[in-house]
Amino acid sequence: MRSRTENVQVRYPINSVLSYNLVNKKQLRLITSISLHTKSRTYEEAIQIPEWRDTMQAEIKSLINNQTWTVTELPSGKTPIGCKWV
C-alpha cells in the first residue's frame, strides 16, 4: 500500500499500523499541527513559506548585526566556498 502526501511517496504509511482512536482531543490537535509542517528541500520551496522567509531574513540580519562576515571581492583565480543552512 502506498500513500501520497505533499508529492512524497510513502512506502509504508503510518496509518496502516497506527490508530489515533484512543488519543484525547488535546493530544490529537498537537499531533495534527506537527504533522502539517513540512520541511523544505530547496531554497525555492522555503522562500515560498512566510515563516521560512522571515526566519531566513532574521538570520541574515543577525549575521550582519554581529558583524560575522563582510562582502569582499574574490581574489583572482580563487573559487568561493559554498555553504548550506541546515
> What's the mean pLDDT in 43-54?
87
pTM of the predicted protein model: 0.45
- Which grid cell is 83? 555553504
Q: 26, 29, 85: which is closest to 60 by C-alpha?
A: 85
Phi/psi of residue 65, each to 5°? -60, -35
Q: What residues does 5 pair with on adjacent strands? A: 8
Confidence check: pLDDT of 75 > 70: yes
pLDDT tens, 63-74? 889 988 778 899
pLDDT tier at 78 (50, 70, 90 boundaries)?
Answer: very high
- Domain ranges, ordered by start, for the chain: 3-65
| Inter-CA distances, 33 with 16, 37, 43, 57, 58, Å | 20, 7, 23, 24, 24
What distance in Å separates the CA atoms of residue 27 and residue 23, rounded to the nearest whole number? Answer: 6
| pLDDT at 62 > cutoff 50 | yes
> What pLDDT shows up at residue 46?
85
